[in-house]
Homo-oligomer: A and B are copies of this chain.
């Protein structure tokens, strides 16, 4: 009874950080006898360079066949000026999300006590921070039709996109959020712009309709501008936040940055059967690629999330998370989380320290 894991290193620092996560997976695989079988494929700019497409059919097929996917990151300046926008690395990522129907994006923003000093916020504002942002990932304005750039009768051009959600799309992501809140501190804040946008009027209505099914969860609503403010002012007021694709993109990045250590934050993108793709919250950081200084911990923690949510190996996930905490306790830090009095290490050293701690 083996489980198939597809590894997609991607671009920039992707390959460097994924290789460390792979080492960690190998160790728990044998230690806990998990029966994981790993395969690898190209996506993003790396896939474009090799196959002329950011999401080759063979990669999508492998991803569809796998039980779970671990992704590094995609994108870089090398491909930013590709004329045909469909060929850019990001399209590989968006194609995977929609091709695999990974509508449920879980983005935790957790402040590691060992790294409290890294935050740009005052310690009392962020200490103990633990928010989960649930972002809808296969709908909304990211995928809405019609879209494009057209020429008007007066000769000038106009760009347009469509922000659209159906009741069923809202309901399935809301369910993920209510269930997540139930397993945590039972507070769910839904973020919309219902005072202006009709699509989010429907969003709010569906959330309200579902609330009676979750009497143990306290549901509230907040406009997105206020949510952005409250994240800066008093982020600990939040437990779980749920929102659409575009607002989720913005708020999850802001929330991640509250911790000051985005190099530590994993994410999961799940389909309706909890099959998922796992990736660090940070990007491909082309500016530091190949230098061996990137932080592999977000990817290692993404692997732990993968074991927990998609592969049902909670014990192995716990072990990885404990090992990460351990190396932080030892004072090991990559450059992005380094502070005086700690010990600066390379990507590889950090990966191996986690392996050793296991």
**Interface residues, chain A, with chain B CB atoms under 8 Å away:** 75, 85, 88, 90, 94, 120-122, 125, 141-142, 144, 147-149, 152, 156-168, 193, 195-203, 224-226, 228-234, 246-247, 249-254, 256-258, 260, 262
Complex CA gap A156/B229 in Å reads 34
**A162 lies within 8 A of B159 (CB):** no
B161 touching A163, Cβ below 8 Å: yes
- CB pair B167 A144 closer than 8 Å: no
Which residues of B sit under 8 angstroms from A163, Cβ to Cβ? 141, 160-163
> Of B90, B122, B148, B200, which is within 8 A of A196 by CB?
B90
The binding surface of chain A is classed by DSSP as helix
Closest CB-CB distance, A283 to chain B, in whole Å? 8
Q: Does A149 lie within 8 Å of B250, measured CB to CB?
A: no
Q: A163-B160, A232-B257 known; A225 and B250 CB under 8 Å?
A: yes
A166 contacts across to B, CB distance below 8 A: 152, 156-158
CB distance from A341 to the nearest CB of B (A): 18
Contact A200 B232 (CB under 8 A): no
Beta-carbon nearest neighbor of A235 in chain B: B120
Q: Chain B contacts of A200 at CB under 8 A?
A: 159
Within the complex, what minimum Cβ distance (angstroms) separates A160 from chain B? 4
Contact of A149 with B228 in the complex, beta carbons under 8 Å: no
User: Are B147 and A160 interface neighbours, CB within 8 A?
Assistant: no
* Cβ contacts A to B, 19 pairs, < 8 Å: A90-B195, A121-B232, A144-B160, A148-B198, A157-B166, A157-B167, A158-B165, A159-B202, A160-B198, A161-B162, A162-B163, A193-B246, A193-B249, A228-B253, A228-B257, A229-B253, A229-B257, A232-B254, A232-B257
Taking a contact as CB atoms under 8 Å apart, the answer to whether A159 and B234 are in contact is no
17 further A-B contacts with Cβ under 8 Å, apart from A121-B122, A157-B166, A193-B246, are A120-B122, A120-B233, A147-B197, A148-B198, A149-B199, A149-B201, A159-B198, A160-B162, A161-B198, A162-B162, A224-B249, A225-B250, A228-B253, A229-B262, A231-B254, A233-B257, A247-B250
Contact B141 A156 (CB under 8 A): no
A249 touching B225, Cβ below 8 Å: yes
Q: Which residues of B contact A147 (CB under 8 A)?
A: 197-198
Q: Are B234 and A256 within 8 A (Cβ)?
A: no
Point out the residues of chain B lying under 8 angstroms from A251, CB to CB: 228
* A120-B125, A122-B120, A166-B152 known; A159-B228 Cβ under 8 A: no
The answer to whether B156 touches A164, judged by C-beta atoms less than 8 angstroms apart, is: no
Instruction: Select one of B162, B202, B232 contacting A258, CB under 8 A.
Output: B232
Cα of A253 to Cα of B230 in the assembled complex, Å: 9
Chain B residues near A158: list those with CB within 8 A: 164-167, 202
B254-A229 in contact (CB<8A): yes
Which residue of B85, B90, B167 contacts A201 across the interface (Cβ within 8 Å)? B85
CA distance A160 to B170 in the complex (A): 13
Supposing A159-B199, A165-B158, A201-B85 touch, asked if A120 and B232 sit within 8 A by C-beta, the answer is yes
Chain B residue contacts of A90, Cβ below 8 A: 195-196
Top 4 A-B pairs, shortest CB-CB distance: A159-B202, A159-B199, A228-B254, A225-B253
Q: Which of A166, A228, A256 has the most chain B CB atoms inside 10 A of its CB?
A: A228
